[in-house]
Structure 1
């Protein structure tokens, strides 16, 4: 497995950086992207035989395509793609502007699609490969006041990954949606979590949740990103990797609670809701 080449977006910090470092430690070849090549090289190291740092704008298809070509030129192959680039957005649905909401979708969803669109021709041709799309437990359980748009982007990543997995299985390419819980990265800092330009005072619950995330949870998350990276590497080595990868005991707790609620809601109206066929 260690001869395979990994391509990771959003690799200058957070889970992406932990994954890059862990892979290089274990002897894998890694192409890593960031908007800033200097930030990436400072965090992960300079270009070498096994490491290719790349400055990429994932919203620019030409930039993405060029990075894929550079990866192939440097390593001669591409095997595992990790769509990790993204950022958080806090704020009630009413108070977030159209521009703020669309910008979050552009990076978290359409940036991911840009990478998939340009990586798949190579994976499909070689009849092998694996795509990891990093979502969030907030892409499965949406009960987080003030994170509606962010959750919506990650629900989108979840849904498109499920479809992708079935679209590409004929080419022997795998797809996995990764849903981490709270991990101790810089995700809850100002550089990775945006807030509304126009807050509405009435949303006291949203402000409380927002404050808890930035001032209480931040720096105290129980999840170890290095262990998360190890899990992803292990899953990539499996012959039949899962489509759904929940990361962390808290992610499992949120997911199980969500499934319980769904089952309860279904049963509550089952007789009524299933009496919809033509008589």
Structure 2
């Protein structure tokens, strides 16, 4: 296959910046985007296969459609769309309220869907393409104090990616849901990301301990973002670790992800076993719905 064209959102640092390097090293072309171009202007002219494009995923459907049209015009196609742009807000749910959730979802959920929807007409017209959705292990670990805003947004992303994968399969479009655990990126800077507005006295000790816990992890995460993005490129291109394997749909990354997803599946299986009579005992008795 000729070199693919990748449109990657959120390329200022972390996963996005590493993915740009990984893709270019394989000989593919990249349209690297950022809300502002200043943080990525150092990439200008580093490769003939690289173009920079200003794209704010929160700009709204119509503006994003125009920016994606500009992106597609660069090389006449887009083969791989990587929804990497994201934000991370931590804090207690009662203190943050719905305002913090809306702020979180604006980038991680609504922005992701707007970019995807703007790209889909081009992928359908090409009868093929790949959509990479960067979710998080946090979708599986919601039982974590302070994770509510971010974790719930990534749970929404998880569900959207699963639905999208079956809706667009008829157009030969693949969806890959990437769910990394804790990686050493710049997205989480606890002092800036932890909500301390509207403090409620009853939570003072909880908030203090929680903030301290998150701060201690910052910069000490086990995950190497460069290795993670090499794995993503392997899967999309069917190379390296992915050679000869079927399309996975999911790509969990990190030892923490392996541990936590297995633990969550065990919890749910044990629940179903313990409560099976209740779970299965609430249907109409005299009808056969084909569920056995």
TM-score, length basis structure 2: 0.89
Is 1:84 aligned with 2:67?
no
* TM-aligned CA deviation for residue 190 of structure 1: 5.3
Task: Quote the residue 1:209 is aligned against.
Answer: 210
Is 1:251 aligned with 2:252?
no
Task: Quote the residue 1:59 is aligned against.
Answer: 58
Task: Quote the residue 1:151 is aligned against.
Answer: 151
Task: Quote the residue 1:275 is aligned against.
Answer: 281
Alpha-carbon contact 1:11-1:34 (below 8 Å) kept: yes
DSSP-derived class of the 2:94 partner? coil
- Structure 2 gaps of 5+ residues are 239-244, 286-292
- Structure 1 gaps of 5+ residues are none
| Cα distance in structure 1, aligned partners of 2:108 and 2:197 | 20
TM-score, length basis structure 1: 0.93
* TM-aligned CA deviation for residue 46 of structure 1: 4.1
Moved more, 231-240 or 187-196: 187-196
Alpha-carbon contact 1:8-1:32 (below 8 Å) kept: yes
Q: 1:84-108, CA deviations, whole angstroms, 9 ceiling, x for partnerless residues?
A: 1111111111010322210111110
* TM-aligned CA deviation for residue 135 of structure 1: 0.8
Task: Quote the residue 1:187 is aligned against.
Answer: 187
Please tell me whether Structure 1 or Structure 2 has the larger radius of gyration of its CA atoms: 2
Alpha-carbon contact 1:14-1:185 (below 8 Å) kept: yes
Q: 1:9-30, CA deviations, whole angstroms, 9 ceiling, x for partnerless residues?
A: 1111111111012212332210
Which residues of 2 match residues 1-279 of structure 1 at below 5 A? 3-42=3-42, 44-46=43-45, 49-60=48-59, 61-189=61-189, 193-203=193-203, 204-214=205-215, 216-238=216-238, 240-279=246-285
Q: 1:248-278, CA deviations, whole angstroms, 9 ceiling, x for partnerless residues?
A: 1111111001111111111111112211111
| Cα distance in structure 2, aligned partners of 1:27 and 1:134 | 22
RMSD (Å), alpha carbons: 1.8
* TM-aligned CA deviation for residue 67 of structure 1: 2.4
Moved more, 9-18 or 186-195: 186-195
Moved more, 140-149 or 178-187: 140-149
| Cα distance in structure 1, aligned partners of 2:234 and 2:144 | 30
Structure 1 stretches (4+) deviating beyond 4 angstroms? Answer: none
Aligned residues: 277
Task: Quote the residue 2:288 is aligned against.
Answer: none
DSSP-derived class of the 1:27 partner? coil
Q: 1:199 to 1:46 in 2, by over 3 A?
A: farther
Alpha-carbon contact 1:46-1:53 (below 8 Å) kept: no
Q: 1:237 to 1:57 in 2, by over 3 A?
A: same
| Cα distance in structure 1, aligned partners of 2:275 and 2:252 | 29
